[in-house]
């Protein structure tokens, strides 16, 4: 058998298969396992004082991607509470498993992220393995930054939450808790 025929019959198909595997983009991981409502509580240290925080999150499918709605209620001395609630929509980006926030509508009617240079948070999400992470970047008036990370890892019966807040790279607070699926 001539060399060209050997190459075409035996080598070329293998080379094509390898090239297709290398050139094909990685399949995006699904948000589906993270969908649902989750609740829990966490104790954390706040300047030497132990405080309790009630935490909940609802992750829902949307037409454009998914949304994350989370609430934290901090219990303070004297029975007072401080509640914060956020809802952010996310859309697939051009990169697998990285999702752009869709927090405002631009002049063309497209949902886009906020601008951190205007004091607004820049938010994005990613899925790596069994963890959905939401990142928030804030830039203050002096150009310093704060980074918040919400790592939500799938666990039996819910999500393991690790919250981290950093100022200019220094860890300020970490809160870990289990959020039970409702």
Q: Decide if 58 contacts 69 (C-beta within 8 A).
A: yes
Question: Is 6 part of a structural domain of the chain?
Answer: no
pTM over 0.85: no
Task: Please provide the average confidence, as pLDDT, over all residues in the chain.
Answer: 85
User: Phi, psi at residue 120, to the nearest 5°?
Assistant: -95, 150
Question: Is 121 part of a structural domain of the chain?
Answer: yes
Question: When comparing pLDDT for 173 and 22, which is higher?
Answer: 173
> How sure is the predictor about 10, in pLDDT bands with cuts at 50, 70 and 90?
low
- Cα separation, 84 vs 77, in Å, equals 17
Residue 152 sits at the vertex; the CA angle it makes with 45 and 129, to the nearest 5 degrees, is 140
For 91, how many CA atoms within 13 A lie in the half-sphere containing its CB? Answer: 12
Number of domains in the chain: 1
Question: Is 18 part of a structural domain of the chain?
Answer: no
For 178, how many CA atoms within 13 A lie in the half-sphere containing its CB? Answer: 7
| CATH number of the domain enclosing 108 | 2.40.128
Question: Is 82 part of a structural domain of the chain?
Answer: yes
- Cα separation, 81 vs 18, in Å, equals 59
Residue 123's nearest CA partner among 141, 108, 138, 142 is 138
Tell me the range of 15-24, 61-70, 74-83 where mean pLDDT is highest: 61-70
pLDDT of residue 76: 82
Q: Which domain holds residue 60?
A: 30-181
Question: Is 157 part of a structural domain of the chain?
Answer: yes
> How sure is the predictor about 17, in pLDDT bands with cuts at 50, 70 and 90?
very low
Residue 25's nearest CA partner among 81, 121, 94 is 94
Q: Decide if 125 contacts 99 (C-beta within 8 A).
A: yes
């Amino acid at each position: 058998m001539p060399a060209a025929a050997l190459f075409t019959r035996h080598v070329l198909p293998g080379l094509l298969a390898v090239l297709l595997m290398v050139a094909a983009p990685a399949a995006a991981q699904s948000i589906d396992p993270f969908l649902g409502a989750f609740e829990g509580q966490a104790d954390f240290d706040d300047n030497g004082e132990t405080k309790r925080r009630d935490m909940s999150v609802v992750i829902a499918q949307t037409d454009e991607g998914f949304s994350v709605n989370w609430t934290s209620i901090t219990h303070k001395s004297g029975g007072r509470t401080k509640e914060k609630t956020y809802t952010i929509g996310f859309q697939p980006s051009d990169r697998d498993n990285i999702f752009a926030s869709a927090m405002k509508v631009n002049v063309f009617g497209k949902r886009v992220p906020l601008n951190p240079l205007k004091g607004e948070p820049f938010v994005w999400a990613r899925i790596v393995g069994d963890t959905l992470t939401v990142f928030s970047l804030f830039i203050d008036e002096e150009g310093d930054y704060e980074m918040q990370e919400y790592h939500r890892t799938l666990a039996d019966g819910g999500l393991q939450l690790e919250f981290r807040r950093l100022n200019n790279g220094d860890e300020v607070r970490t809160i870990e808790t289990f959020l039970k699926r409702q």
